[in-house]
Amino acid sequence: MTKLPRWADVVLVPLICLAIAFVFCGILIASIGQSPVVALTSMITGALGTQTGWGYTLFYATNFMLTGLGVSIAFHASLFNIGGEGQATLGGFGVAIACLFFPWPHWSMALLGSITLSALFGALWALIPAWLQAKRGSHIVITTMMFNFIAYALISYLLVNVLKPEGTMDPATARFDKAFNLPKLADIFGAVGIPFSKAPPANIMLFVALGLAFATWVLLWHTRLGYAIRAFGKQEKAAVYAGIGPVRITLYALLLSGGISGLMAVNAVQGGAHRLVLNSVEGAGFIGIAVALMGRNHPFGIVLASLLFGFLYQGGNQLALATDPVTGEQLKIPREVIIVLQALVILFTGALPYMVQRPLEKLFAKLKGAA
């Protein structure tokens, strides 16, 4: 009956979720005979202890920011686009076309080209489910999920049969022209005199993603389209009363959603791998859903949540390589356990905030009663 104060809803609930997730992670690590404390410290030092660690954390965060923003726009229209994975996969195809078949004179042109094509391909991949939802009422969750599989199959075919250079066994495109490599953080920070590690692939797309987060905020709360999307998402019937067409808004919201998810490929493919490989998205589309949920579909929250997930991703990678600080032995934490750890965090922060909200509401009501 009494609602939570806003700060508690936005800050306290995610933090408590995170804490619960860490408790379960700790139990899991202890159960395979490792020390949770050592594991946590090696995650933190691995992800945040060095410039290289930070660089990777920011690189992954950029991926999640873009897919998270994509998911959130559809969410605001009450459309659950879980096809970010497929849309980003197709976005990768767009990047590959931009970087392989056009003789750009400068990396900035190549960036504009790959941004355009990846957004276009991501949006197109969302178009068919969007159209089916808007016109036929086919549920967007089902269709976008199916389109993830189709995207994977399509890219496999394209890589193996069309894009793979002659004479290689690897289902991947040729390396992109080195001139199209995006400026890394080292280059950008270096230009203003701050030294930064050259190793990590974090690049200019971080700033593009941050700019996009701001643009998303402007779109949703300061433009007519954003107003219409939010109104439609809250009360579809009322939107019709106001003259907001459901078909149009469904299409726009999902095209924007798919397009932004597609941009993730610019960071991963052009910025990171410099070629298109199978599974270039590596689950970022799904993590984007958790990021959007945890960030409460607010661009600012999404930026913070993507940093957290970037940390988890990079920290998890480091955990696989970590050694015990006392004995110097390698920690025996299998790759699978690390995936379970990441899944636990997603589960608790993304899917279970309501579990925390209710008791917290009661607690607040009691505190209020006592005061």
Partner 1 sequence: MSLGTSSGRQATAAPFAIELRGISKSFGPVQANRDINIAVPKGTIHGIIGENGAGKSTLMSILYGFYKADAGTILINGTETAIPDSQSAIRAGIGMVFQHFKLVQNFTVLENIILGAEDGPLLNTSLARARKALTDLSREYDLDVDPDAVVEDLSVGHQQRVEILKALYRQADILILDEPTGVLTPEEADHLFRILGGLRDQGKTVILITHKLREIMETTDNVSVMRRGTMVGTVKTAETNPEQLAELMVGRKVLLQVDKDAANPGREVLRVEDLRVTTDGVERLKGVSFSIRAGEIVGIAGVAGNGQSELLEALGGIAEARGRIVMNGADLALKGLNGQSRREAGIAHVPEDRQVLGLIMDFAAWENVGFGYHNDPKYQKNAVLMDNAALRADTEAKMARFDVRPPIPTLAAKNFSGGNQQKIVVAREIERNPDLLLIGQPTRGVDIGAIEFIHKQIVALRDAGKAVLLVSVELDEIRSLSDRVLVMFDGQIMGERPPQTDERELGLLMAGMTEKS
Q: Which residues of the chain form contacts with partner 1 (CB under 8 A)?
A: 1-2, 218, 221-224, 227-228, 230-231, 234-235, 237-238, 240-245, 368
Q: Compute the residue count for the chain.
A: 371
Q: Which residue has the tokens 């050694």?
A: 323
User: Which CB atom, from 107 or from 364, has the smaller least distance to partner 1?
Assistant: 364
**Cβ 113 to partner 1, closest distance in Å?**
25
Rounded Cα distance between 260 and 205, Å, is 12
DSSP H/E element including 1: none
Contacts of 304 (CB under 8 A, 6+ apart): 295
Q: Which residue has the tokens 């990079």?
A: 314
CB of 31 to partner 1, least distance (A): 37
Minimum CB distance to partner 1 smaller for 136 or for 237: 237
How far apart are CB 123 and partner 1 at their closest, in Å?
A: 20
CB of 230 to partner 1, least distance (A): 8
Closer to partner 1 by CB, 179 or 242: give it: 242
The DSSP output letter for 3 is P
Asked if 105 contacts 113 with a C-beta cutoff of 8 angstroms, the reply is no
How would DSSP label each residue in 131-196? Answer: HIIIII---HHHHHHHHHHHHHHHHHHIIIIIISPTT--SSBPPPPPGGGPPPBHHHHHHHTT---
Q: Toward partner 1, which CB reaches closer, 234 or 335? A: 234
Evaluate whether 92 touches 275 at the Cβ level (below 8 Å).
no
Q: Which tokens in the block code for residue 170?
A: 């690897």
Q: Quick one: 230 or 296, whose CB is closer to partner 1?
A: 230
Residue with tokens 């969410």: 75
**Min dist. Cβ of residue 211 to partner 1 (A):** 16
Q: Least Å distance between CB 214 and partner 1?
A: 13
How far lies 98's CA from each of 5, 95, 175, 345, in Å? 48, 5, 13, 36
**Nearer to partner 1 among residue 226 and residue 262 (C-beta):** 226
Using the structure block, give the residue that is written with the tokens 């692939």: 201
Query: Residue 242 Cβ, how far from partner 1 at the closest point, in Å?
Result: 4
Q: Which is nearer to partner 1, 243 or 328 (CB)?
A: 243
